[in-house]
Amino acid sequence: MNEPEDFRDHISTVNEAGKRVWIYPKQQKGKFYTARTIVSWFLLLFLFGTPFIKISGHPLLMLNVIERRFIIFGLAFGPQDFYLFVLATITIVIFVVLFTAIYGRIFCGWICPQTVFLEMVYRKIEYWIEGDSANQRALDKAPMDSKKFFKKTSKHLIFYGIAFLIGNTLIAYIVGIDKLFDIVSHSPSQNLSGFISVIVFSILFYIIFAKFREQACIIVCPYGRLQGVLLDPNSVVVAYDYVRGEPRGKFVKEEKREIGDCINCSLCVAVCPTGIDIRNGTQLECVNCTSCIDACDSIMEKVSLPKGLIRYASMKGIKDKIKFKITPRIIAYSSILLILLSVLITMLFIRSDLDVNILRAPGKVYQEQPENKISNLYNIQVVNNTFENMPLNIKVNNSDAEIKIIGKDIVIPLQSVGDTEFLIILPKDKIKTALIPLDIQVFAGEKLIKEIKTSFLAPNK
């Protein structure tokens, strides 16, 4: 490529004086933009609608990180499920690494909430109020008058209104929609922490989408920073076909083109929301938003050259002039991703609501009791993954045995782990051997939840 290499020295949104360069991406049209718009409607519907969906009176999704209580598709998870959290984290990390190695930053361009909100909500409102990039530039340079004041004020009020909505939605995911209604319908003094959280999140989202924008992807997002190690020449990314495009040069009507197909119109740069030139190759700033694909395709159509000068492709595919095809590597990686996801989902759904363990207490094997009786001490531990406090009842299959709970009755609070101790007591004259097999039954209310085989130790006869 013939371009100067100065793009390597600084990021596109910072000038040589170290000042932020504000990006005014040109408004975009095209098949990818339309498809991304449709995908964004579904994602936004899911995001804003999910807190209202309940299963048996409980949220479909709740991520209460403060109290470490989570509800995922109606199933409750808590600190007792730490092993699942570790497994899910490992799965997600492997998933992200493999997924990115094959499909590049497809997530950033199509699904990431930052891109969806910035490009599909905030930017559209900006175009609607201030016009396309040239009008926005002109408006920013113009002195303040009533027209500019009205446009800027209305834009920022709408921006804040949406940020407020996002902030409330986030709180709804953390504490549930009922608690959110409680926060917004009472005086702030009655729910001070909830009220402050809503305001803080709203301001934060407003700053991110109105001011910080692409800097979140370039500077803050760890996924973006990791692209250098996650991508390889076989990864599918939004790429410029330099083999076909170079040497670039002006388009001259009705002249036989003897140079590359890039007509150097710079439209791909003008539409880029991170301000880069994709013709310089894969860059950290590229969020794979596909705007440059649509832009270049529209130009190729106008000059009657084949579309796809910028397209989804691997760098190796471009270099070797190979069209994208499903390779054994893609099949292998995708299969591993599928297996990992299936294992995780299966683990989540096969987990029982109540998990009971009974062990004989360590220490003395049996205890002498008054009235010529012998007892054994047992520990019972119960993991209650349900939404109810669970009163437990213990029975044993020996009509001579008596059960004595140490302390008060066992009630395991919802979504927590509880344990207690109990004694099984047998009259000495009913003991015939030193090892008596027992079946202990644990009931939640009237429902038998676990039957455990154990033994009762007695002195040798």
Task: State the residues that interact with ligand SF4 by CB under 6 A.
Answer: 238, 240, 245, 262-268, 271-274, 276, 278-279, 286-292, 295-296, 299, 309-310
Instruction: Report the residue number, 26 or 395, with the smaller CB distance to ligand SF4.
Output: 26
Helix (H), strand (E) counts: the chain: 17, 16
Q: Smallest distance from the beta carbon of 54 to ligand SF4, in angstroms? A: 38
Instruction: Report the residue number, 182 or 246, with the smaller CB distance to ligand SF4.
Output: 246
Reference 461, options 377, 374, 396, 399; nearest CA is 374
Instruction: Report the residue number, 305 or 356, with the smaller CB distance to ligand SF4.
Output: 305
Q: Smallest distance from the beta carbon of 264 to ligand SF4, in angstroms? A: 5
Q: Smallest distance from the beta carbon of 1 to ligand SF4, in angstroms? A: 11
The conformational region for residue 400 under phi > 0 = left, psi -120 to 50 = alpha, else beta, is: alpha
Q: Smallest distance from the beta carbon of 275 to ligand SF4, in angstroms? A: 8
Q: Smallest distance from the beta carbon of 307 to ligand SF4, in angstroms? A: 10
Instruction: Report the residue number, 273 or 317, with the smaller CB distance to ligand SF4.
Output: 273
Q: Distance between the two ends of the chain, CA-based, in angstroms? A: 95
Cα(317)–Cα(412) distance, integer angstroms? 59
Q: Smallest distance from the beta carbon of 64 to ligand SF4, in angstroms? A: 35
Instruction: Report the residue number, 271 or 374, with the smaller CB distance to ligand SF4.
Output: 271
Long-range CB pairs of 410-413 (<8 Å, 24+ gap) are 410/380, 410/382, 412/382, 412/384, 413/384, 413/389
Task: State the greatest distance between any 2 C-alpha atoms of the chain, in Å, as a whole number.
Answer: 113
Instruction: Tell me the three state secondary structure of residue 338.
Output: helix
Q: Smallest distance from the beta carbon of 24 to ligand SF4, in angstroms? A: 13
Cα(20)–Cα(413) distance, integer angstroms? 53
Cα(209)–Cα(272) distance, integer angstroms? 16
Walk across the sheet containing 61-64 and list its strands.
61-64, 69-72, 75-77
Instruction: Report the residue number, 162 or 218, with the smaller CB distance to ligand SF4.
Output: 218
Cα(348)–Cα(336) distance, integer angstroms? 18
Instruction: Report the residue number, 311 or 450, with the smaller CB distance to ligand SF4.
Output: 311
Cα(228)–Cα(425) distance, integer angstroms? 67
Instruction: Report the residue number, 303 or 448, with the smaller CB distance to ligand SF4.
Output: 303
Q: Smallest distance from the beta carbon of 232 to ligand SF4, in angstroms? A: 18
